[in-house]
Structure 1
């Protein structure tokens, strides 16, 4: 009987997130070189040949300075950049509230409010206030993108803008948008 194959252990670059043997094809190979020299010297032996004794000291100094600078910056909240596979940088979400009216069964409407949580508003409290104000059902649900949103029964799309700006003053009217016919339209 044949032996069961063992899983392959892949070393991922600590800088770009790609497998170490693909770093040279990544977004910034120069930033990966010090990490590769220290953690995967067998993959790129030409990096070690090109780096003399003085260069090795520079590389170790560079690695220490990056670790020190990252430790020094930890006392102050630092915005972390999210990297996707392949080294692409994930964009930060814009702070905007998107209101969409969805019709179902040709008569019933649901108004969907997305993005209130980006302004620091608790969605449960917001759904209760919306339900009381418009005397209708409102609930927090997960949308198709796995983000939480508020579904309010009824067509309250144009009344809701004034309510949001009055109730939560930190939400500017310029940050509220409607989805009409598949296009994003400003509420102001």
Structure 2
């Protein structure tokens, strides 16, 4: 007599609701990681290794900070590094505003402003202020690198540095750059 097959038991993620094997393809994988480490460590062994490595880094950072505060060696803290899935590392972005003029149809210009969000400025508010100040259309769009930027209609590069430093005092003039002939040129 043939054996009766058992039904397949599927473990669903408690965070995103997807089967645990498919969490990495969902939009909330970063939020799912702690749940997966605790409830399904055999599915993602790399996550377990990564969490153990982070714990080891935290312990070493604590030891290093206590030795610094107790009068030990005065080593400078290394640059912030973000870990991406797969073990790759990403350095923290420099805080700078990049302004570029793009010509289209031989006469019309669009001025793009990148990097305002790195100074804690909401791009929607910045687009609204720039549009009012220069009496033109301005919107927040995704650039070619999937980062959001503000596009302003017209060539406003002549007054924009002054306006940015007045409207948002947190942005120093030394952190503003223009793209001219493919090169980054400081505005100051």
Distance (whole Å) between structure 2 residues aligned to residue 85 and residue 137 of structure 1: 38
Q: Which structure has the larger Rg over C-alpha atoms?
A: 1
Residue 101 of structure 1 contacts residue 155 of structure 1 at CA under 8 Å; is this kept in 2? yes
> If the length of structure 2 is used for normalisation, what is the TM-score?
0.60
Q: Which runs of 5+ in 2 are unaligned?
A: 1-20, 22-42, 64-78
What residue number does 2:128 align with? 128
What residue number does 2:174 align with? 174
Q: Using the TM superposition, name which of 113-122 and 87-96 deviates more.
A: 87-96
SS at match of 2:161: helix
Q: Which runs of 5+ in 1 are unaligned?
A: 1-6, 18-34, 36-62, 74-78
> If the length of structure 1 is used for normalisation, what is the TM-score?
0.60
List aligned pairs for 1:17-166, cutoff 5 A: 66=56, 69=59, 81-84=81-84, 87-166=87-166
Superposed CA RMSD in Å reads 3.1
Distance (whole Å) between structure 1 residues aligned to residue 50 and residue 164 of structure 2: 41
Please identify runs of 4+ aligned residues in structure 1 that moved more than 3 A: 13-17, 65-70, 84-88
Residue 140 of structure 2 contacts residue 148 of structure 2 at CA under 8 Å; is this kept in 1? yes
Write the deviation string for residues 141-184 of structure 1: whole angstroms up to 9, x where unpaired: 11111111000000011210000001111100000000111110
Write the deviation string for residues 85-124 of structure 1: whole angstroms up to 9, x where unpaired: 5644211010000000000000000000000011011111
Counterpart check, 1:12 vs 2:39: no
Distance (whole Å) between structure 2 residues aligned to residue 175 and residue 15 of structure 1: 39
Residue 80 of structure 2 contacts residue 92 of structure 2 at CA under 8 Å; is this kept in 1? no
Distance (whole Å) between structure 2 residues aligned to residue 160 and residue 147 of structure 1: 21
SS at match of 1:157: coil
Q: CA deviation at 1:66?
A: 3.8
Distance (whole Å) between structure 1 residues aligned to residue 46 and residue 58 of structure 2: 22
Residues 106 and 85 (structure 1), Cα distance of their counterparts in 2 relative to 1, 3 Å cut? same
